């Protein structure tokens, strides 16, 4: 009647990864919007510095909440984080791209 005993089709690994990535992005986007609306920086503080301040506590959340994604190292973390920031709409895409380039330049290519 409710399909409780119906055999479920297994979800493939790429689908699991995509769903997990989307969930992580959604969670981090919510945290970014809250951070952006509540933490006020002095005028002229570049977005890259704000993102660095945000990334420190969020990286722990990412590792604890999404251990499968954190296996991708810092590259996975930054990809999800910058995607979330870009999707949040709090800053123009050009400003987000510039911040991403600045952080990549500062820390070097992620491996």
Whether 8 is covered by a domain: the verdict is no
The answer on pLDDT for 39 being more than 60 is yes
Whether 5 is covered by a domain: the verdict is no
When divided into structural domains, the chain yields a total of: 1
Find the helix packing angle between 93-107 and 47-65, rounded to 10°.
80
Label residues 82-97 b or e (16+ Cβ within 10 Å = b): bbbbbebebbeeeebe
pLDDT at 7: 54
Whether 20 is covered by a domain: the verdict is yes
Whether 54 is covered by a domain: the verdict is yes
Whether 67 is covered by a domain: the verdict is yes
What is the pTM assigned to this prediction? 0.80
The answer on pLDDT for 72 being more than 50 is yes
Residue 67 belongs to domain spanning: 14-39+46-107
């Amino acid at each position: 009647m409710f399909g409780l005993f119906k055999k479920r089709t297994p979800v493939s690994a790429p689908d699991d990864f995509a769903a997990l990535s989307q969930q992580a992005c959604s969670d981090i986007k919510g945290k970014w919007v809250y951070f952006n609306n509540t933490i006020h920086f002095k005028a002229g503080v570049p977005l890259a510095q704000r993102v660095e301040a945000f990334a420190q506590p969020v990286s722990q959340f990412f590792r604890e909440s999404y251990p499968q994604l954190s296996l991708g190292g810092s590259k996975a973390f930054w990809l999800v984080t910058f995607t979330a920031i870009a999707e949040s709409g709090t800053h123009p895409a050009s400003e987000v791209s510039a911040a991403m380039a600045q952080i990549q330049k500062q820390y070097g290519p992620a491996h």
